[in-house]
Amino acid sequence: AQKITQTQPGMFVQEKEAVTLDCTYDTSDQSYGLFWYKQPSSGEMIFLIYQGSYDEQNATEGRYSLNFQKARKSANLVISASQLGDSAMYFCAMRGGRVYRGSQGNLIFGKGTKLSVKP
Amino acid sequence: SAVISQKPSRDICQRGTSLTIQCQVDSQVTMMFWYRQQPGQSLTLIATANQGSEATYESGFVIDKFPISRPNLTFSTLTVSNMSPEDSSIYLCSATPRSGGSSYNEQFFGPGTRLTVL
């Protein structure tokens, strides 16, 4: 069975500092994708970054980067130069290999980490 | 990317009634999904909305309680039937864009429908 684990229910970071949000996953599939989403208090899910299991380089999108360690099955999100607007829930998610076999490709989510940025 | 809209954005309903949530995508998509997010919880998949056929439900969710329609490649509805306070949640529509190659590095969400059942 596939599973996403986020062990940090809440995190605090000082404005302008970097922060790492942890995510580990469990899957027996060789092909899979890892996603990070931000959910502010408004409830919308904002896509941040994606990492494919065969991608050799760590994904980066602006201030977001994904520290992908395949052997350890971890996909940590790094946010550089934190801003007050980064305060939100952050969810790690995985799309399993079923989609690569032509089946349904829904996302499996972790429990999330609540990030609070302090001024 | 795909832009997804949902209606209504929020509603307060009485126990025993039903609410239909609409999801509209601005482009044709391959897969559409409905998720539920209970207060303080993560997202749980309710079902996959299949175009032209019945939806595929996850364990713990049944068609009688959550009927879904998907008449075309850009639109879907989710009905929450015979509501109880336990149905108070955010309901999110999601879609994977349609493309000739692999588009599985993208999945977008609507803004959600915040439902409160009294």
CB neighbours of residue B91 within 10 Å: 22
Name the CA dihedral angle for A69, A72, A73, A78, rounded to a multiple of 10 degrees. Answer: -40
Tell if the CB–CB gap between B107 and A107 is shorter than 8 Å: yes
Lowest-pLDDT range of A74-83, A103-112, B24-33, B45-54: A103-112
CB contact at 8 A, B113 and B8: yes
What lies within 8 Å, CB to CB, of A85 at 6+ separation is A117
The maximal CA–CA distance of chain B, rounded, in angstroms, is 46
In single-letter form, the type of residue at position A41 comes to S
In single-letter form, the type of residue at position B56 comes to T
Distance CA B116, CA A30 (A): 41
pLDDT of residue B51: 82
pLDDT of residue A97: 55
Q: How many residues does chain A have?
A: 119
> Which has more pLDDT, B28 or A8?
A8
pLDDT of residue B104: 61
What lies within 8 Å, CB to CB, of A21 at 6+ separation is A6, A8, A11, A36, A76, A77, A78, A79, A90, A92, A113, A115
Share of chain B above pLDDT 90, in %: 69
Distance CA A103, CA A100 (A): 7
B78: distance to nearest CA of chain A, Å? Answer: 17
pLDDT of residue A102: 40
Q: Chain B residues contacting A, CB < 8 Å?
A: 31, 33, 37, 41-45, 48, 56, 90, 92, 94, 96, 104-112, 114
Look at residue B100 and tell me whether its pLDDT is greater than 80: no
pLDDT of residue A94: 92
pLDDT of residue B98: 65
pLDDT of residue A1: 74
Q: Encode chain A (119 residues) as per-residue pLDDT tens digits.
A: 789 999 999 999 999 999 999 999 998 888 889 999 999 998 999 999 999 888 889 999 999 999 999 999 999 999 999 999 999 999 999 986 554 444 456 789 999 999 999 99
What lies within 8 Å, CB to CB, of A12 at 6+ separation is A115, A116, A117, A118
State the average pLDDT over residues B30-43.
92
**Residues 87 through 116 of chain A touching chain B, CB cutoff 8 Å:** 91, 95, 99-100, 104-112
Distance CA B5, CA B18 (A): 20
